[in-house]
Structure 1
Amino acid sequence: MSGRRVRAAARYRHRGPLAATVAGALLSGVLLGAAPATAAGPNEAAWAGTWGTAPVPAAPDGVSRAGFADRTVRMVAHTSIGGDEVRLRLSHAHGTAPLVLGRVTVGLAEAPGSAAAVPGSLRQVTFGGAPGTTVAAGAQTVSDPLPYPVPAGADLLVSVYLPAPTGPVTWHWLAQQTNHVSEPGDHTGDAGTGAFTGAETSWFFLTGVDVRGAGTRGTVVALGDSQTDGGGSTPDGNGRWTDAFARRLAATPATRGIGVLNKGLGGNRVLRDGAETDRPQRGTSALGRLDRDVLDQSGVCAVVLYEGINDLQLAPYAGAEEVLAGLRTLAARLHERGTPVVVGTLTPFKDSPLWTAEAETERMAVNAALRTAPEFDAVADFDAAVRDPADPQRVRAAYDSGDHIHLTDAGYRAVADAVPTAPLTSCDPATSAPSPDGRTP
């Protein structure tokens, strides 16, 4: 593919997830002290995303509509790659008034789903050297770089103190992750759990964690719907297909050091916004959020595009040709930036309450076209990976989470195994070479 970006690749330096190692390194500095911002020099590694999620508007009711005041929210971000420095992305994209961030810290979780931090691991994050900042409605903020040994495959705790009423929050509702809300006050520096008496399975304001270090090589972004979001996977188990894919990349020397960002959204469509329905939390369409959720992320070297089933099964319905046109438009926009695109076929959903014979016909038409479409660099045949051989319109029983459309952890592992890694050679200029017809083999 012409115009493909190349990125400097350095040898991966393994950093194990041992909490004691991280805590020891941090204790050599000042606990909860602010670190000065540093800029990357011409020969230093670039930033790469290690964790991400997609922001959406508040729901019509509930915690996202009510917002927070004088509370600390402590959220878990499971890293895909490690680094020596970290920075955070916080979004107020759907806010209605300025957002005051009091103090923000990062730490390392003692156990999955726990609000407890490894003793000595909490460090304060700054914004332009200040301990907090105010974010305008519709904007986002990126923290200063913080020297911090981030392990791959670890649970980071990001704690945000919200001193003033936030109004409706910018959030991500389908986290499949336990996050924590405190009693009144700033509890960003609390290693213990005593103040964190509330639990939510959503992320609030936090949309990304970037790392930088000798081993970072770039990031793959997964743009999708609830299948990418991990609907049906084990809560706090990191069983999404993107988690399994990150573990697969980390286990192979050729792809080690490549991060994975999950930009899936439950109920999301290629063509329509959630605001066009009674569920605004379905988010902006894939076409509308491509810049924010993909192109503006750090170190993007490939995209896995896995959307379209909601366009077929949710009213107002779209047909196969409309969905294909949208997917081709997304690919063309990514190719303009020199970014390879892997497209995923749509998985079965017969017996789901939303299944119809008409939608099934359209799904099969989409998949048939995608398997030979020249507009994409590779195809991940997710349909073939999870369908029941005895009845291809259904998900095989071992992969069915129970609602006949979302998958079990095992099903998501099968999806992760179906993603071709050849397009990821763009993350390593030493081996990057497009085939003569422009498609990565």
Structure 2
Amino acid sequence: MTGTDNGGWVRSWGASPQTAQGGLGSLDGYPPLDGVTLRQVVRVSGGGRRVRVRFTNEFGSAPFTIGAARVGLAVPGGGVRPGTERVLTFSGAPGVTVPAGAPILSDPVDLSLPALAKLSISLYLPGRVETCTCHDPALETGWTIPGDAVAAPALPETAEVLPVRALISAVELLPDGPARAIVVVGDSRTDGAGSTPDANRSWPELLAERLAGRGAAARYVSNQGISGNRLLNDGIGVSALARFDRDVLATPGLGHVVLSVGANDIGVSFAPRDDGPLADFLKMFPGAPMTTDDVIAGHRQLVARARDCGVPVHATTIAPYEGAEIYTPEGESARQALNAWIRTGGAFDAVLDFDAVWRDPARPSRIRDDFHCGDHLHGNDAGYQALADSIDLSLFG
């Protein structure tokens, strides 16, 4: 049996680590993190009575030092609710040096968090971070503040917006009862691209809202989407095959896996080849073109690895993308072939038919106009809500 029926830790929020250079470039031109406090806000999916934070230097080229860190319930505008502040320690010490290539967990602290609570995480960096492990983009505003401001109850006027999730990758809770984590691995449509920032409108976050209101055994959701990610090749983030053990199978309290990946493998492989702006974009995606059979084989690999851990594996079909710059009829044929296998191949415990939810009945190769953000590729808030609403919650027990 997996999960936390014996009272263990469960991941309630996650963001897959990336290199600053292997993301969307949001840190390009941003000042180095040196002698500053980072204050970032995350929304947990399920609640609990104790909290620990996973900090990350997994793509760092050198160690960095956390001089001090705190958590507390967030209030709008970057503040912390009085009385909820908790000092984080590391093996009892107020600070820690995080080795290059490694994550580090804080010691647990007692803090009662309800489901869907917003948690403020502050960490002071007394020295320079040579290479920032991050998640790009953030989709929830964070800030840098000069000096040690971890104890500041309100956001100082000197704060500047931080454009990425920097140096944090997970929040884990000790729940009050049995709970398990649903981990979603995907690309920008999972990450929430096109949704309203600071509103928690990605479909995994909206799924978490539905699960939180269900009243049954707790199910948390960890969103491990990376914008631009592929199943088989690195590019924007390491490939799903390469990061699957770290981002998914190592999740505390893992109970279910949802695969929502492969769209970029298809889109990039069959994209138009020319010397225009699209050519520069495609340079971010190295490697030979992939076939539908390649993508199917990649899915089978992830299924086998998840089943070795004894967890059910679900998959989403690939939503339409005609109208986007990377669209070609050949890519559409490959998408249809991949979806046919996802629906009928019998590889998964269940299929979430996102293609059926988003496609325009009058032109099934396109997303409905009221469901995309204007680029014919990514959802808007209504589109992601429709995906979340289409999911049968009974799949998760």
TM-score by length of 1: 0.83
1:257 aligns with 2:257: no
Counterpart contact for 2:10–2:175, Cα < 8 Å? no
Counterpart contact for 1:91–1:207, Cα < 8 Å? yes
Q: Judge which range, 340-349 or 144-153, deviates more.
A: 144-153
After superposition, residues 172-211 of structure 1 pair within 5 angstroms as 172-183=135-146, 185-211=147-173
**Cα distance change on mapping 1:142 and 1:151 into 2, 3 Å:** same
Counterpart contact for 1:90–1:205, Cα < 8 Å? yes
Counterpart contact for 1:349–1:393, Cα < 8 Å? yes
Partner in structure 2 of residue 20 of structure 1: none
Secondary structure at the counterpart of residue 259 of structure 2: strand
1:117 aligns with 2:80: yes
Partner in structure 1 of residue 293 of structure 2: 321
Secondary structure at the counterpart of residue 71 of structure 1: strand
* Paired residue type of 2:223: N
Partner in structure 2 of residue 241 of structure 1: 203
- The equivalent position to 1:289 in structure 2, one of 243, 255, 266, is 243
After superposition, residues 378-417 of structure 1 pair within 5 angstroms as 378-417=350-389
Partner in structure 2 of residue 312 of structure 1: 266
- How far off is 1:196 after superposition? 4.9
CA distance in 2, matches of 1:191, 1:384: 47
- How far off is 1:72 after superposition? 0.5
Partner in structure 1 of residue 282 of structure 2: none
- How far off is 1:8 after superposition? 5.2
Structure having the larger proportion of residues in strand:
2
Counterpart contact for 1:342–1:376, Cα < 8 Å? yes
- The equivalent position to 1:219 in structure 2, one of 181, 184, 189, is 181
- The equivalent position to 2:110 in structure 1, one of 142, 147, 163, is 147
- How far off is 1:317 after superposition? 2.7
* Paired residue type of 2:336: M
1:117-145 alpha-carbon deviations (Å, 9 max, x no partner): 11222211111001111111100101111
- The equivalent position to 1:69 in structure 2, one of 22, 34, 58, is 34
CA distance in 1, matches of 2:14, 2:170: 4
Partner in structure 2 of residue 57 of structure 1: 19
The alignment of Structure 1 onto Structure 2 pairs a total of residues equal to 376
1:372 aligns with 2:344: yes
1:172-216 alpha-carbon deviations (Å, 9 max, x no partner): 012211111112x11000011115520023100100000012235
1:378-429 alpha-carbon deviations (Å, 9 max, x no partner): 100000011111111111111011111100111111111233334322xxxx
Counterpart contact for 2:26–2:164, Cα < 8 Å? no
1:73-101 alpha-carbon deviations (Å, 9 max, x no partner): 10111010110000000111100011111
Counterpart contact for 2:51–2:108, Cα < 8 Å? yes
For structure 2, the 5+ residue unaligned runs are: 270-287
Counterpart contact for 1:378–1:420, Cα < 8 Å? no
TM-score by length of 2: 0.92
* Paired residue type of 1:76: V
In the TM superposition, structure 1's runs of 4+ consecutive aligned residues that sit over 4 Å from their partners are none
After superposition, residues 68-147 of structure 1 pair within 5 angstroms as 68-111=33-76, 114-147=77-110
CA distance in 1, matches of 2:96, 2:395: 39
